Structure formats: structure tokens, C-alpha cells
Amino acid sequence: MAELVSMDLVSPEKLLLSDAYEMVVVPGAEGDFSVMAGHTPITAVLRPGVISIYEGDTEKDRIFVNGGFAQVADDKITVLAEEAIHVADLDRKDLEQRIANAAEDIEDAKDDEVRRKAQENKDHLEQLLEALG
């Protein structure tokens, strides 16, 4: 068995995940990169996207993060994300419905503040849908 890289996924509210994997692919702001044991120390900004966890050649788990930071050192990767959702927990139908609702909210918005919030909400949902992809 190959050496493992341990990953901590932390959100401001709690420690979401702490486990060891063979390979983790994270969505860096300047392109995805994969982390395995012995990776060079790096601090990177993440864009909204999916963290893929690989066991051998198969993708074991996918987690959506809405941006954040990753720090790699000593066979250990720490991901700071404000929001993280297992892709498996997402439901395509539900998301599409919510995007449609958000689009309606934008139409109905009476002032800029409300419109901006609705737009943010819609963008966020679309990112989630993309993650399902």
C-alpha cells in the first residue's frame, strides 16, 4: 500500500473530516493540483470547486467547497473552507428547482440589495450544480 497523506477539512463551525488518503485533488485558484504523500510544502488559495479523494485509481469521495485555503506540509494537508458539502448529498432535481426559484427572486427583486443577494444565491447554487456535473 502506498504512503498516505492525511487530510483535515475544517469549517469555521467544526472539524468536518480528518482522515488519511492516497491522493487528494484540490481545486487551486490557479488550477487543480493533486496532493500525495511527500508533496512539497505549499499554501494555496482555493476556488469554489470539488475536492476529490482517490483510493488507488478510483475516486472514493467528492466534496464541494466554496473556496478557501489549503496548506500542505509533512504529508498532511489542511483545507480551510467556509462551506463544504459531500457531492453525494446533493440532489440535481432539487438544485435545479432552487436555481429556478433564485432566478425568479432576481426578477422580483425590488431594490439592488435584494437583487444582489438573490444573484449571489443563484451563483452559489450554480456552482453546486456544476460540481455534480
Footprint on this chain of other proteins (rule: CB under 8 A)? 8, 10-15, 28-30, 33, 40-45, 69, 71, 73-74, 78, 80, 82
Cα angle value 95/100/104 (rounded, 5°): 145
* Residue closer to other proteins, measured from CB, 1 or 15: 15
Of 31 and 133, which has the nearer Cβ to other proteins?
31
What would the grid cell of residue 129 be?
450544480
At its nearest, how many Å lie between other proteins and the CB of residue 56? 27
Pick the closer one to other proteins by CB: 39 or 62. 39
- ∠ CA 77-129-85 to the nearest 5 degrees? 40
Quote the CA–CA distance of 45 and 47 in Å, as a whole number.
7
Pairwise CA distance, residues 128 & 122, whole Å: 10
Kindly state the smallest distance separating residue 35's Cβ from other proteins, in Å. 12
